[in-house]
């Protein structure tokens, strides 16, 4: 406790007992105790002691037969004063106790505790842990009182002392963290009741019970876990208003942060409308604007924002000019750059680096598999082979038809990976390791059987086949093996001139050169935003292609240095500087403010840099509170550095913390909620929420529209134009349904309709000619707008049309490069986790209906998943095949119908090209024919179960009816083609064929029973 000298009115003296005095005088041991001005003065072992009353930690009266003693202790020493009158000692102790209380009541500690006790006793204050620390000091007060033998009776006799009275009643549990939680839980209903009128009127509609609870919860760190349409912004406005209404803060004590200018403006407008009494002192701002203000205050001048921050084309030109300068100045840099394009344009990973086909499929989608000549290839290994051949000026053809026709009903025309016309050499790049083992998700027996067929084919036709292997890529010997191969087949070769090669790379707008500049642009932004160092990246524990990382950083660093030098010379800053320099200023105490409360919107979008800034701000003042709202189901900005762990691990990032739900949506109906929540929570990492909806309906609110339903009636020769027209027709079909509903409702104003695509309209091949204005003329009761899925966040409409839901588009195939992933929060293990959340965002923009328009011949995996949901959630055509059949090969993909240029239907796996399974279509119902036991193909449609008997000799062909010279019937393989390398001569009698058919029917019946 604080040592303050009380203003006592008198002093108290006490002498030893007369008998002891008599004896003491003779032995010089008599003693006197004086209590004066807050000090106890006495002799101890002949030495005068001046003991401040406030230093006394315990006191004890020891009664004897003739006279009594008193024992006192401080933190470091004990004293025993002997031989006083018992009654006189009792009076002395009471005087000491009164003096101790008097000292305490005149201390700053007492005044602080008095305010805490009054709040506690009133029962209408929510205690933060920082405030509770003061309250918990009462347990020390209790111990102090007990040490001084002060009890409740003494306090009662001495008059009103609420601190001492309360302290003596408290236990350790009462002042613990759980005690704080219990107290606050009792306070919340009282506060909600006290401010009922305020919460009824702060927004246009009364706040819900969860919103009110969130507003009055005044924890150190509070996260409101919301759902789409549950009123996040209303809760923020309610919180700010409550703080002002309750007198907990003045407008200048509240900082409201948003992520974008638009969100900040909208929040400011709501503040002005709903909290006009705050004047212009309560403002919403962005993280960047706030950071800029901190930097300006700390350095005394506001620096200009570089044009590069908002003019991306100018930054691109600066980067390209810097690269050109480095190339002209350094032959070594030029050589490194060329090597990067040849060797490191994509990560060097093989099929067997992945445990599941989904992982490999996602990896392939993240790669830019475009050769230096602008061709698309199927794997990283093939990309490296093509680039090496180009580097050494070797003409080649990729996947050209083999010189002999091998196409049959069952087998496509053989197309070797590479053909070198100069030496007439075919090259196969094989996805195997040194032991000829394939990836775990590849049918190794079938793969090696196919390889044996290829080798036999080349041997039969005396064509030259050379082989390269995936393990050569992994071991870093691929270039060496390619050169050995070229020498072996005597293929002419010479290394291209690096200047010529670089000129060729830069000549095309879609070349790898432009992709490299795009990569540098993104890397530069994220590198600065995340406040990384180069040593951080090179020490990364992530599983990456370290050789590629080192090569890229060597090329990137001169660009970064030039960019930073430019900003310094121009005395400018970019957006990343606003965050990083502001964080440093806060940590060094260079920014002074009056904020007690920080309110953050869309907290799920918090990035690492912004997170550091926020933590640094909260550390600048005692008892600063954080109140954040967000929805982890709508976290869609990892590609910009957002780190979802700030949200999902909130109580680890900010402690102590409380997470509260907003669990009622006022936007969409129950059917849209059931479908969207089921879809997004397939990812087990998403927080579970029990959300209800204000609007309840019985009917399904999502309809699947397949453009293939319209294709047969469209008389346009060009396939792409025909497909675009089919999209337009299905869009008009959906809009007509929306328009008719508005007619039935007698609407007098246009109903908002949102067309949502994964990309901007001009970047969607089949939709870029869509005329939205013409559609609004055609449907006068509809207000039709197009938005990308990302731009739709925060918006809502009566109806939503999701467009272009195709493989590679949504979920997007444009995954991050591994180099970019180095700068981003850890990748989530669940496949397409962020794309799934983005799809959820798009669906939940709708109030009433959602239409999903897609092409069943190139279907999105998300549509396949939704197509399997029940009729209570979706409406679809009875003939729609999407998602009906799983791939029997990889077992995780689904079979997607396609039509060849000859109008023959066939099926491929949705994971193609990672899984190359293909099936023919049933001649009866057009469903896929699935191989069973290698002996028959059975139609996957349980209502059809058509059977084809497989040739047991080649295992590929189908047994078909033929006639012999005498006119008799027999069955032979349809791969019989006399004198062809892959000709099959298998034939069986009609009786044997019928026996096999009977066996196949029995198997089909078993299959149907197992699946029913």
Which pLDDT tens digit goes with each residue over 42-76?
888 878 888 887 788 788 888 887 778 888 888 88
The answer on 710 and 851 residing in a single domain is: yes
Q: Give residue 765's domain range.
A: 680-875
The answer on 296 and 213 residing in a single domain is: yes
Exposure of 345 in the CB half-sphere (CA atoms within 13 A): 30
For residue 454, being part of any structural domain is answered with yes
Do the Cβ atoms of 982 and 406 come closer than 8 Å?
Answer: yes
Using CA atoms, how far residue 623 sits from 131, 617, 619, 634, 1010, in Å, is 7, 12, 9, 30, 64
Q: How confident is the model at residue 848 (pLDDT cuts 50, 70, 90)?
A: very high
What DSSP line would sit under 57-74, residue for residue? Answer: -EEEEE--SS-EEEEEE-
* pLDDT (mean) for 459-463: 93
Q: How confident is the model at residue 704 (pLDDT cuts 50, 70, 90)?
A: very high
pLDDT of residue 556: 95
pLDDT of residue 18: 55
Is 408 annotated for ligand binding?
no
Q: How confident is the model at residue 763 (pLDDT cuts 50, 70, 90)?
A: confident
Query: How much is the mean pLDDT over the chain?
Result: 85
Domain end residue (candidates: 662, 693, 720): 662
Beta-strand pair 936-939/929-932: antiparallel
The answer on 838 and 718 residing in a single domain is: yes
Give yes or no for residue 815 having a pLDDT over 80.
no
Q: 137-140: which pairs have CB atoms within 8 A and are 24 or more residues apart?
A: 137/109, 137/113, 138/113, 138/163, 138/166, 138/167, 138/170, 138/175, 139/167, 139/170, 139/172, 139/175
d(CA 954, CA 974): 11
Is 230 annotated for ligand binding?
yes
Return all residues near 149 (Cβ < 8 A) that are at least 6 apart: 59, 60, 93, 97
Return all residues near 300 (Cβ < 8 A) that are at least 6 apart: none
pLDDT of residue 33: 83
* pLDDT (mean) for 990-1000: 86
For the chain, percent of residues with pLDDT exceeding 70:
92
- What CATH number has the domain bearing residue 256? 3.40.50.300
Give the residue among 753, 766, 757 at the shortest CA–CA distance from 787. 757
Give yes or no for residue 846 having a pLDDT over 80.
yes
For residue 673, being part of any structural domain is answered with no
As to burial, measured by CB atoms within 10 angstroms (0-12 exposed, 13-18 middle, 19+ buried), residue 225 is: buried
Total domains, the chain: 7
Domain end residue (candidates: 846, 875, 904): 875
d(CA 842, CA 754): 9
For residue 915, being part of any structural domain is answered with no
CA 561 to chain CA centroid, Å, is 31
Give yes or no for residue 92 having a pLDDT over 90.
no
Domain end residue (candidates: 542, 572, 602): 572
Is 260 annotated for ligand binding?
no
The answer on 711 and 641 residing in a single domain is: no
For residue 773, being part of any structural domain is answered with yes
DSSP summary character for residue 806: B
The answer on 776 and 712 residing in a single domain is: yes
pLDDT of residue 27: 44
pLDDT of residue 927: 83
For residue 674, being part of any structural domain is answered with no
CB atoms inside a 10 Å sphere around CB 2: 11
| Pick from 1-15, 284-298, 434-448, 723-737: least confident | 1-15
The answer on 499 and 360 residing in a single domain is: yes
Give yes or no for residue 286 having a pLDDT over 80.
yes
Is 381 annotated for ligand binding?
no
For residue 247, being part of any structural domain is answered with yes
CB atoms inside a 10 Å sphere around CB 736: 13
The answer on 847 and 752 residing in a single domain is: yes
Give yes or no for residue 8 having a pLDDT over 50.
no
Is 233 annotated for ligand binding?
yes
pLDDT of residue 1: 40
pLDDT of residue 738: 95
What is the token pair recorded at 348? Answer: 């060097």
Q: Which span out of 15-24, 311-320, 886-895 was modeled with the highest average pLDDT?
A: 311-320
First to last CA, the chain: 79
What DSSP line would sit under 104-115, residue for residue? Answer: HHTSHHHHHHHH
pLDDT of residue 5: 41
d(CA 936, CA 951): 8
Give yes or no for residue 137 having a pLDDT over 50.
yes
Q: Which span out of 261-270, 491-500, 578-587, 1003-1012 was modeled with the highest average pLDDT?
A: 578-587
Give the residue among 223, 78, 76 at the shortest CA–CA distance from 628. 223
Exposure of 351 in the CB half-sphere (CA atoms within 13 A): 24
d(CA 973, CA 40): 116
Beta-strand pair 304-305/572-573: parallel
The answer on 410 and 288 residing in a single domain is: no
Give yes or no for residue 713 having a pLDDT over 80.
yes
d(CA 922, CA 945): 9
* pLDDT (mean) for 642-649: 91
Give yes or no for residue 244 having a pLDDT over 90.
yes
User: What SS3 string covers 542-603?
Assistant: CCCCHHHHHHHHHHHHHHHHHHHHHHHHHCEECHHHHHHHHHHHHHCCCCCCCCCEEEECCH
Give the residue among 841, 848, 869, 852 at the shortest CA–CA distance from 227. 841
Q: ∠157-159-165 over CA atoms, to 5°?
A: 90
pLDDT of residue 717: 83
Q: How confident is the model at residue 957 (pLDDT cuts 50, 70, 90)?
A: confident
Q: What is the pTM of this model?
A: 0.77
Give yes or no for residue 268 having a pLDDT over 50.
yes
* pLDDT (mean) for 87-115: 76
pLDDT of residue 352: 78
Q: Which span out of 341-350, 847-856, 911-920 was modeled with the highest average pLDDT?
A: 847-856
Give yes or no for residue 865 having a pLDDT over 70.
yes
Q: How confident is the model at residue 7 (pLDDT cuts 50, 70, 90)?
A: very low
Using CA atoms, how far residue 871 sits from 861, 866, 867, 868, in Å, is 19, 11, 9, 9
User: What SS3 string covers 670-704?
Assistant: HHHHHHHHHHHCCCCCCCCCCCEEEECCCCCCEEE
For the chain, percent of residues with pLDDT exceeding 90:
37
Give yes or no for residue 965 having a pLDDT over 70.
yes
The answer on 231 and 202 residing in a single domain is: yes
Question: Between 461 and 509, where is the model more confident?
Answer: 461
Give yes or no for residue 397 having a pLDDT over 90.
yes
Q: Which span out of 143-147, 658-662, 974-978 was modeled with the highest average pLDDT?
A: 658-662
The answer on 827 and 687 residing in a single domain is: yes
The answer on 316 and 260 residing in a single domain is: no
If you compute the radius of gyration of the chain from its CA atoms, what whole number of angstroms results? 40
The answer on 968 and 949 residing in a single domain is: yes
pLDDT of residue 620: 94
d(CA 894, CA 909): 6
Q: How many residues does the chain have?
A: 1012
Return all residues near 557 (Cβ < 8 A) that are at least 6 apart: 534
d(CA 335, CA 834): 38
d(CA 795, CA 852): 18
Give the containing element (helix H, strand E) for 223.
strand 221-225
Is 688 annotated for ligand binding?
no
pLDDT of residue 792: 94
For residue 141, being part of any structural domain is answered with yes
* pLDDT (mean) for 876-896: 75
For residue 685, being part of any structural domain is answered with yes
Span 217-234, pLDDT tens digits: 999 999 999 988 898 999
Q: Which residues of 511-540 are buried (b: 16+ CB within 10 A; e: fewer)?
A: bbbebbbebbebbbbbbbbbebeeeebeee
Task: Specify which residues 225 forms β-bridges with.
Answer: 630, 661
Q: Which residues of 430-466 are buried (b: 16+ CB within 10 A; e: fewer)?
A: bbbbeeeebbebbeeeebeeeeebbeebbeeeebeeb
Using CA atoms, how far residue 625 sits from 184, 248, 412, 475, 655, in Å, is 16, 11, 67, 54, 11
């Amino acid at each position: 406790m604080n040592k303050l000298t009380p203003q006592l009115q008198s002093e108290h003296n006490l002498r030893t007992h007369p008998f002891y005095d008599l004896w003491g005088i003779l032995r010089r041991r008599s003693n006197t105790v004086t209590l004066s001005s807050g000090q106890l003065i006495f002799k101890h072992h002949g030495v005068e002691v001046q003991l401040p009353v406030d230093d006394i930690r315990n006191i004890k009266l020891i009664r004897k037969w003739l006279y009594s003693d008193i024992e006192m202790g401080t933190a470091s020493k004990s004293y025993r004063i002997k031989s006083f009158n018992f009654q006189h000692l009792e009076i002395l102790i009471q005087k000491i106790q009164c003096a101790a209380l008097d000292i305490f009541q005149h201390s700053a500690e007492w005044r602080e505790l008095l305010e805490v006790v009054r709040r506690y006793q009133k029962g209408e204050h929510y205690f933060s842990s920082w405030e509770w620390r003061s309250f918990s000091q009462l347990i020390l007060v209790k111990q102090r009182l007990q040490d001084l033998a002060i009890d409740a009776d003494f306090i009662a006799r001495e008059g009103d002392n609420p601190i001492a009275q309360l302290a003596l009643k408290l236990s350790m549990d009462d002042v613990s963290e759980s005690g704080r939680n219990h107290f606050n839980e009792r306070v919340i209903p009282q506060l909600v009741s006290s401010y009922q009128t305020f919460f009824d009127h702060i927004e246009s509609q009364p706040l819900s019970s969860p919103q009110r609870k969130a507003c009055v919860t005044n924890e150190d760190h509070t996260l409101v876990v919301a759902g789409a349409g549950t009123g996040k912004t209303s809760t923020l406005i309610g919180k700010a208003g409550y703080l002002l209404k309750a007198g907990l803060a003045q407008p200048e004590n509240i900082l409201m942060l948003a992520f974008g200018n638009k969100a900040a403006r909208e929040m400011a407008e709501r503040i002005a409308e709903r909290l006009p009494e705050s004047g212009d002192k309560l403002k919403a701002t962005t993280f960047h604007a706030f950071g800029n203000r901190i930097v300006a205050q700390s350095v005394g001048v506001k620096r200009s924002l570089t044009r590069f921050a908002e003019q991306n084309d100018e930054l691109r030109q600066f980067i390209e000019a810097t690269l050109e300068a480095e190339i002209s100045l350094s032959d070594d840099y030029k050589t490194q750059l060329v090597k990067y394009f040849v060797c490191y344009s994509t990560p060097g990973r093989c099929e067997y680096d992945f445990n599941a086909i989904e992982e490999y499929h996602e990896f392939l989608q993240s790669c830019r598999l475009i050769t230096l000549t602008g061709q698309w290839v199927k794997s990283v290994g093939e990309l490296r082979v093509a680039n090496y051949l180009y580097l050494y000026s070797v003409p080649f053809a990729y996947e050209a038809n083999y010189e002999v026709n091998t196409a049959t009903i069952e087998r496509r025309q053989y197309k070797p990976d590479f053909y070198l016309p100069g030496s007439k050499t075919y090259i196969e790049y094989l996805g195997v390791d040194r032991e000829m083992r394939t990836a775990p998700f590849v049918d190794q027996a079938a793969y090696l059987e196919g390889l044996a067929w290829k080798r036999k084919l080349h041997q039969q036709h005396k064509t030259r086949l050379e082989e390269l292997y995936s393990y050569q890529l992994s071991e870093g010997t691929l270039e060496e093996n390619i050169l050995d191969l070229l020498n072996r087949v005597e293929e002419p070769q010479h290394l291209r001139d690096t200047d010529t090669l670089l000129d060729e790379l830069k000549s095309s707008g879609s070349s790898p050169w432009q992709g490299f500049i795009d990569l540098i642009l993104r890397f530069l932004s994220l590198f600065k935003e995340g406040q990384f160092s180069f040593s951080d990246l090179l020490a990364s524990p992530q599983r990456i292609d370290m050789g590629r990382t080192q090569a890229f950083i060597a090329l990137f660093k001169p660009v970064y240095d030039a960019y930073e030098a430019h900003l310094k010379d121009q005395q400018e800053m970019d957006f990343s500087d606003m965050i990083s320099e502001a964080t440093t200023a806060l940590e060094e105490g260079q920014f002074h403010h009056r904020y007690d409360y920080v309110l953050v919107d869309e907290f799920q979008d918090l990035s690492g840099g912004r997170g550091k800034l926020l933590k640094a701000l909260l550390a600048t003042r005692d008892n600063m509170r954080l109140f954040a709202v967000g929805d982890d189901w709508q976290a869609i900005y990892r590609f910009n550095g957002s780190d979802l762990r700030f949200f999902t691990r909130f109580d680890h990032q900010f402690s102590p913390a409380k997470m509260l739900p907003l669990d009622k949506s006022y936007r969409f109906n129950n059917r849209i909620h059931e479908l969207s929540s089921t879809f997004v929570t397939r990812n087990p990492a998403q927080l579970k929420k029990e959300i209800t909806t204000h609007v309840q309906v019985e009917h399904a609110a999502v309809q699947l529209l397949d453009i293939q339903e319209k294709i047969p009636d469209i008389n346009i020769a060009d396939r792409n134009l025909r497909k675009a027209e089919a999209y337009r027709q299905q869009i008009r079909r959906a809009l007509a349904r929306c328009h008719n509903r508005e007619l039935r409702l007698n609407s007098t104003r246009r109903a908002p309709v949102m067309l949502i695509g994964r990309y901007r309209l001009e970047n969607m091949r089949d939709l870029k000619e869509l005329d939205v204005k013409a559609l609004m003329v055609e449907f006068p009761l509809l207000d039709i707008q197009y938005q990308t899925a990302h731009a739709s966040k925060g918006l809502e409409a009566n109806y939503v049309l999701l467009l272009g839901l195709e493989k590679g588009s949504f979920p997007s195939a444009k995954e991050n490069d591994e180099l970019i992933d180095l700068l981003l929060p850890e990748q989530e293990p669940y496949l397409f986790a962020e794309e799934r959340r983005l799809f959820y965002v798009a669906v939940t923009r709708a109030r009433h209906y959602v239409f999903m328009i897609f092409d069943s011949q190139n279907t999105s995996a998300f549509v396949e998943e939704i197509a399997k949901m029940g009729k209570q959630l979706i409406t679809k055509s009875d003939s729609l095949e999407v998602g009906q059949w799983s791939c029997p090969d990889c077992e995780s993909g689904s079979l997607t119908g396609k039509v060849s240029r000859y109008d023959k239907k066939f099926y491929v796996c949705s994971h193609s090209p990672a899984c190359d399974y293909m099936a023919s279509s049933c001649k009866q119902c057009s469903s896929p024919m699935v191989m069973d036991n290698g002996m028959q193909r059975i139609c996957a449609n349980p209502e059809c179960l058509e059977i084809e008997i497989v040739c047991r000799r080649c295992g590929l062909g189908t047994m078909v009816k033929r006639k012999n010279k005498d006119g008799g019937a027999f069955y032979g393989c349809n791969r019989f083609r006399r004198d062809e390398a892959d000709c099959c001569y298998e034939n069986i009698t009609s009786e044997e064929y019928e026996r096999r058919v009977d066996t196949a029917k029995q198997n089909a019946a078993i299959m149907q029973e197992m699946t029913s």
